[in-house]
Structure 1
Amino acid sequence: MATQTAPARQNLPVESDSLIGRDRDLSELLRLLETDRVLTLTGAGGIGKTRLALRLAAQATASFPDGVWLAALADVSTRAEVTARLCGALGVTEEGNRDPLETVCDALRGRTLLLVFDGVDGVADHVAEIAGTLMSSCPSVSLLVTGCEPLRIGRETVWRVPPLPVPTACDGAEPAADGAVRLFLERARAAVSDYASSPEELAAVNRICRRVDGIPLAVELAAAWAGRVDAVGIDAGLAAALEGAGAGAERNGAPRSLVLDAVVGWSHSLLSMPERVLLRRLSVFPNWCLELAESVCAEEPLAENDVLDLLSALLDRSLITLTGEHLNRVRYRLPAPVREHARERLAEAGEDVGVRARHTSRVTAVAEDLGRVALASRAMPWRERFAYWDRAVSEYDNIRAALHWAAREGRVRDGLRLCAGMRPLWFTSCQFAEGEEWYAAFLSAAEAGPDGRDGPDEAAGADPSDGGPATGALRGRVLVYRAELAWPRKRFDETAAMARTGADLCRAAEDWATVCLAENLLALIASVRGDAAAASRHVAGVLELARSTGDLWNEALALNVQGSMAARDGAFAEADTRFNTALMIMRGMDHRWGVGTTLMAHGAAAEGQGDMQTADRCYREAMDIHRTIGAPGELAACLAGVGRVARRLGSVTQACDYLGESLRLSHTTGQRGGLAETLASIAGVADQQGMRTEAARCAGAASALLESSGWSGFGSPRFPLTGDVTGIDSNAELRASWEEGRRLGVEEAVELAAGIAESGRMPRPRPAPAPLSAPPRKALTRREREIAQLVGEGCSNRTISERLVIAPATVARHVANINRKMGFNSRTQIAEWVTRHSGRTDRG
């Protein structure tokens, strides 16, 4: 497809309103984006920074071939939250043992794109640090920033967004060309088609726009009352409000923030009592849907059935805005200046604590629904189960707000419950940094002792207000979940200590599911450290406990651990049995993520024993699952697995297709471990194709990347650092190429591997195959000839094992021996040879 017809690569929201009066600004800003790498739009709240930035970004997509990506930061407070938003916007997956910003830099170093940081005021210092790092590490990345003040970093160009043009003081001036008047009339005439058609009314509109100094939000708030108040009445009301706020006439030098607050206050004064109550209660939400607003805001004097009509009224008054739709729910938000005003009214009404407590309770229920259902052992359609993930994602901003409020108010129990519920999302989405930050904060607060405001202490038993677990059990659960996040970060001592402590607390509360999780973690740690006996003890304990309590999820996890341990020890038949049993359990639950991860482990074991058909089947099914559910790290690993199997089966073109896709995905998501694995696999392809020098360089790059990623040692991927390239240790020239590869940067290594993969896809002349001949006498043993005959009949390894009453692993080793002796590299070649020489394979 031609470049100009390809869909733009961006995540910008669909604009709901036209942008008026900014044509000249857009032209100037587009020119600046072509030359300046950091462009910051500053100005008072309501001046239109966000809307201008989004339109500018949308018009700039053609200049950035790798896309334009928005990270909205208005409701974040910490560096971990900023990097989480950044990773989410870019599709970068956090690495367990690394600062997410380093992963982002690796992913963006060779890409040409525009990042939009919108609403940085609350995290300006963090954004400045992140922006500086991106500027120094990623030479083709540009930044567009919005905030009240500049970031004050090097190479920053600051554009102070002006108000819209307003008419002169002459009331008879023609208003059509003035941006502020055009905006007012467009919004007003959407409600009343002939609004302000007389000279007197047009003169009033001119005065309105001058009074509010052309501030777009103030203009829209004034125009929103056109259906109920004529222009002269709006002008008079605003004049009084501004005079009372000390911003009348020519503003008397008053800042625009004061003008806007006076306009918001004027609009608020025209609302009915129920509308005012709802508006102030909505200020606790970063954004919301109708269902959430009803559950939090519907308390005397508001009835739940009234909320929808009141929302519609506030929407008509431009006091709330639509942000889009998610899960078939329309979502709303308050413009920042309106939200600040509404917060003050909430505090004045003495409702702040009560409404925030209801908000926290409601979003805690969303988080706990996720924690309860995501890994539940009962059978459930995957679509229904996955909907809980989606709902938690849609309410993530509200969950963050509740976490911050619980931390500020010392509501430790609320914070622990939120953390426990968010465990599936933080772990499966690889949001390690933010999850770890919250776990650590609330666990530290819990260890400091009960606060008396947030439920009973450990000795008091369950909280009667919510039926939840006692604080000791809840702390134990969160400790184990924190250990689960520490596991991929390779902090094994810390993981083990937290898992043991948490398991002890959970045993006392008979929380057996969490005990099983802790024991599974301890088994994994023992396994990667080579303590097979300890790992086996932990797994055996999990299986006994899980089966006695009906915990299918943890039973399947334990079987996966057993299968991987058996495969590592060469007990492939036992490994197959364990993996197949785990798969049966996961399929029975219809847990697609669990099925996918089990298939990946089974595929790796099958690949290790040389059963390429089973490995291919497992990797391909897992690949389809992870592509569907959006798990890029797992998808990249599956693609690499299919590519390795294709190479082993002699299909170089197919191997290069899959390995090339895995290479791109691992690179764009910043996964160095996956990238190293794919580089090593591509090195093997190059070696097989006779590209010895390129193979050695690619293998060297894989080795260096694996070591720098921190994934060498315990728990590292099990593939050769040389990438199956023969002769590196004994050939001085190849060794020199390998060392050269180790010095390559990530971008250079990816370019090298991509070139190898592309050359493998290109058709090349092949010599005519030599006719297959019968093997030399006694080349194959009698058993090998017997197995070759069955392969020729199309039998799988399992079918052959059943016919000959031998283990599938034994069949796989015989097939590998046949390939080696005959110079074959696939079962297809064995079958073709058997067919051509039918009748000879059974003669000695």
Structure 2
Amino acid sequence: MAPQTAPARQNLPLDSDSFIGRERDLSDLLRLLDADRVVTLCGVNGIGKTRLALRVAAHATGSFPDGVWLVELTQARGRDEIIARVATAVGVAEEAGRDLEYTLRDALARRRLLLVLDGCGPVLELLADVCHRILADCPTVSLLITAEEPVRLEGEAIWRVPPLSPPPREKERDPTSSEAVRLFVDRARAASPGFTADADDLRTIADICGALDSIPYCVELVAAWVRRIPLPEIAQQLRERVQDLYSRHSGAADRARLVIEVIRWSYERLGRRERILLRRLSVFADWDLELAERVCPDGPLPEAEILDLLSSLASRALITLNGEAQGRVRYRLPSAVRRFMAHRLTEAGEEETFRLRHREQMMLIAEELSRTAVLGRAMPWAQRYSSWTRVITEYDNLREALHWSRERGDAEEGLRLCVGLCPFWVTGSHFIEGGVWNDRFLEIGGVAEALRGRAMVRRAELARAEGDHRYASEIGEAGLARCRVSGDTESLIMGQNLLAMVDVREHAYDRARERLSEVLELARKTGDLWNEAVALGTQGMLATQCGDFARADVHYSTAMMILRGMDHRWGVGAMLVGQGIAAEARGDLAAADRCYRESLDIQRDFGSAAELSRCLAGVGRVAHALGATTQAFDYLSESLLQSHTAGLRRGVAAALASIARVAASEGMVDGACRLGGAAAAIRGETGPATATRSWPLKGTAYDGDPAPLSAWWDEGYAMDVDEAASLALHITETGRVPRPRPSRVDHVKAPEETLTRREHEIARLVGAGKSNRAIAEELFITPATVARHIANINRKTGFTSRKQIAAWIDDHTLSQ
């Protein structure tokens, strides 16, 4: 296999706290998960559903060879967002021209995996239909769901999560036999490292846990106060607070109200500044210190105290750590706390103020990405990339800002967010989601024409990425007209660049040349190095399509010189692919290999699945052309896996076609024809089908019975994507095994019957002992062209060395 990082099989977070109790629940749930495809953990917020689900999932990884994947739905809004979050978790990308839901279901159709859908309460009704369709189309996918109520799916196993085991009623029994008591002691020691509990203390703790109905989060919240409040006082306060929440007849607690009341009890014991900060933090999905310091300070809450206050709130279990990103600790509010604090923020009359501040920060993050992504001057790549990863980190917050803007009808702010996020949506394969958001705000109206034009140009970019060239041209031209009127030269240049790309794809070459001429003139006049490089790259693509490979190489080389000077690695990676394609088309295999491999190194760091797959396929094709069959199979199989895992059918079809060619050259005719048929079928679904039944065998020396070829092709054409991928991977694995080759050469037909005239000429010069450079000078061709011809000779004859070619030529020369 080509060098690669082993694919992850789960995305579960590390559990920072000890897991106490629930051993029987854990074992019972694991057995239930083996028997049922849908298991839903139900109960009030704070009962421990998420912690239990994550522990079950961690123990179940061995039962699901395709992974265990956590999908957090607490912040989800709408069906499309549910699907997008599931797709992101399992690594499925948006595919141009296709609804993401279909791509997702097709990608998961044969995978045996577990989806852990956490925090489903806000989208429970929408979730039911999404899950029903996944279960129907993906028979080996299982679901572990956490929600306050059942989803009501067919065959759903409902597990009502109970509280922890309560304290024993008999005073003579050891209180620590209770899971709730053990949890209290553990969290009390975390809050106060010197905490110890004697027999009297344990009985008091048992009383506290009894008053809390042994609800885990309530126990944790209260235990965090042992350092400041004596145990007897805690017990008395809670008894008075919660006694009315228990039924006088059944003795059962109203658990939902109990959780809220304990949160209220803890909130009331905070200092004033802690309470102010806590309610203001409810505007975040999650956050880091820098964000909190920018959004929350005001009036009695100075910025300098934010860090200490966050630490204090974390020690009270009112906020939790949510991992680390970009070297910064992330925090979040538990869902029940966030809901409670959002009400407190509204009561304080601060909701609008701090939501506006939150959105302002999100707009700064989005606009920083838009600026650095295309800034036409030298800038360390780490700085550019940092703005991109910051958007990934804050994407839940950015979605919150988009939703809030839409609810308020704030089209201007919404479009500013969309314009800023466009580079992320395009490069991260979120172009469908980005298009939906752009359309929502463009429909509202009341926006300045300059901003509308800028947004329409970005919408055209998303449409082009989606493969909708007609709409890209339509809205792009409308946006350009507004940009010309408003004097927005930057958007004008960008719009002409992207529409030139559309023109090239649509073979409108003259119109593309006109646009690119204007772009280069304006870009050079304004010093816009990024768009100058993009225009040169598009000129390279245009020259390649017109067969002018020398000119294409000049354009790509100039573009990369600019991009390297800017230290723009993503841009360099994209240009290298184009230059590699041009080099491959003109037969310069060494140059093509160099381009694809350098781009591959870049794409492994941060590229999308589509671009990574494309580079892998390029390296594989060149390796095949050079006669390195094992290496070709290595890279092509990885390319296939990348596209197949991401649900990218076009990439799958391209990989299948390339593997078919290698297989045919290795004499694996039946497999090659089947893969050819499968690739043609997939291409027929995603675009025009152009392949013929015989194409895998073109260029090979196949002289066997042609009768089965059509039947093999039809078998492949009838395969689904998963069957075709499995067959291809089997062929690549078989093809890697070295097979014995005859040492003699008399089994090969005469050179003039096997080779083209040029190949025969080169073979005679090889037989004369000449090097590639010497042959190139004698025949007035490049050494790379010589190498390509020698690779073709080896493929046709089954040879692996120049000595075998020379011996074959000598044998047939002597026999004449």
Structure 1 position 14, deviation (Å): 0.5
> 1:41-52 to 2 correspondence within 5 Å?
41-52=41-52
Structure 1 position 137, deviation (Å): 1.8
Structure 1 position 370, deviation (Å): 0.9
- Secondary structure, counterpart of 1:724 in structure 2: helix
> 1:342-381 to 2 correspondence within 5 Å?
342-381=341-380
Change (3 A) 1:547 1:795: farther
Structure 1 position 820, deviation (Å): 7.0
Once residues 407 and 791 of structure 1 are traced to their aligned partners in structure 2, the CA distance between those partners, rounded to angstroms, is: 74
1:734 maps to which residue? Answer: 709
Structure 1 position 84, deviation (Å): 2.1
Q: Does 2:694 align with 1:695?
A: no
1:552 maps to which residue? Answer: 529
2:593 maps to which residue? Answer: 616
1:542 partner letter: V
2:550 maps to which residue? Answer: 573
Structure 1 position 666, deviation (Å): 1.4
2:814 maps to which residue? Answer: none
1:724 partner letter: P
Once residues 773 and 732 of structure 1 are traced to their aligned partners in structure 2, the CA distance between those partners, rounded to angstroms, is: 23
- Secondary structure, counterpart of 1:324 in structure 2: strand
2:450 maps to which residue? Answer: 473
1:55 maps to which residue? Answer: 55
1:285 maps to which residue? Answer: 284
Change (3 A) 1:232 1:516: same
CA contact (8 A) 2:493 2:531 kept: yes
Once residues 288 and 164 of structure 2 are traced to their aligned partners in structure 1, the CA distance between those partners, rounded to angstroms, is: 32
- Secondary structure, counterpart of 1:176 in structure 2: helix
Change (3 A) 1:323 1:813: closer
CA contact (8 A) 1:496 1:521 kept: no
2:813 maps to which residue? Answer: none
1:629 partner letter: F
CA contact (8 A) 2:656 2:679 kept: yes
CA contact (8 A) 1:247 1:259 kept: no
Once residues 327 and 553 of structure 2 are traced to their aligned partners in structure 1, the CA distance between those partners, rounded to angstroms, is: 43
Change (3 A) 1:822 1:744: closer
1:326 maps to which residue? Answer: 325
Q: Does 2:710 align with 1:711?
A: no
From 700, 724, 737, the equivalent of 1:762 is 737
- The two structures have a TM-score, normalised by structure 2, of 0.91
Structure 1 position 242, deviation (Å): 2.2
Once residues 321 and 633 of structure 1 are traced to their aligned partners in structure 2, the CA distance between those partners, rounded to angstroms, is: 36
Structure 1 position 789, deviation (Å): 12
Structure 1 position 781, deviation (Å): 11
- Secondary structure, counterpart of 2:177 in structure 1: coil
CA contact (8 A) 1:480 1:499 kept: yes
Once residues 356 and 26 of structure 1 are traced to their aligned partners in structure 2, the CA distance between those partners, rounded to angstroms, is: 40
Percent identity of equivalent pairs: 45
Change (3 A) 1:182 1:88: same
1:525 maps to which residue? Answer: 502
1:752 maps to which residue? Answer: 727
1:215 maps to which residue? Answer: 215
Once residues 40 and 543 of structure 1 are traced to their aligned partners in structure 2, the CA distance between those partners, rounded to angstroms, is: 59
Aligned residues between the structures: 801
- Secondary structure, counterpart of 1:331 in structure 2: strand
Change (3 A) 1:778 1:299: closer
Most deviating of 107-116 and 693-702 = 107-116
2:231 maps to which residue? Answer: 231
Change (3 A) 1:381 1:834: farther
CA contact (8 A) 1:680 1:722 kept: no
2:478 maps to which residue? Answer: 501
1:724 maps to which residue? Answer: 696
1:137 partner letter: D
- Secondary structure, counterpart of 2:41 in structure 1: strand
Structure 1 position 246, deviation (Å): 4.7
- Secondary structure, counterpart of 1:71 in structure 2: strand
> 1:333-732 to 2 correspondence within 5 Å?
333-445=332-444, 447=445, 449=446, 458=448, 472-708=449-685, 710-712=686-688, 723-726=695-698, 731-732=706-707
CA contact (8 A) 2:224 2:317 kept: yes
Q: Aligned-residue CA RMSD in angstroms?
A: 3.4
Once residues 738 and 762 of structure 2 are traced to their aligned partners in structure 1, the CA distance between those partners, rounded to angstroms, is: 35
CA contact (8 A) 2:626 2:788 kept: no
Structure 1 position 54, deviation (Å): 0.5
Q: Deviations 1:504-537 (Å, cap 9, x if unpaired)?
A: 2222233223222221222222222222211221
Change (3 A) 1:764 1:823: closer
2:110 maps to which residue? Answer: 110
2:123 maps to which residue? Answer: 123
Q: Does 2:264 align with 1:265?
A: yes
CA contact (8 A) 1:246 1:252 kept: no
Q: Deviations 1:48-105 (Å, cap 9, x if unpaired)?
A: 0000000110111111122111111111112222222212211222112112222222
CA contact (8 A) 1:196 1:202 kept: no
CA contact (8 A) 2:208 2:238 kept: yes
Most deviating of 234-243 and 756-765 = 234-243
Most deviating of 821-830 and 176-185 = 821-830
Once residues 373 and 199 of structure 1 are traced to their aligned partners in structure 2, the CA distance between those partners, rounded to angstroms, is: 63
- The two structures have a TM-score, normalised by structure 1, of 0.88
Change (3 A) 1:122 1:556: same
- Secondary structure, counterpart of 1:189 in structure 2: helix
Structure 1 position 672, deviation (Å): 0.6
Change (3 A) 1:588 1:341: same
CA contact (8 A) 1:606 1:612 kept: yes
2:385 partner letter: F
Once residues 590 and 774 of structure 2 are traced to their aligned partners in structure 1, the CA distance between those partners, rounded to angstroms, is: 8
CA contact (8 A) 2:665 2:796 kept: no
Structure 1 position 111, deviation (Å): 2.0
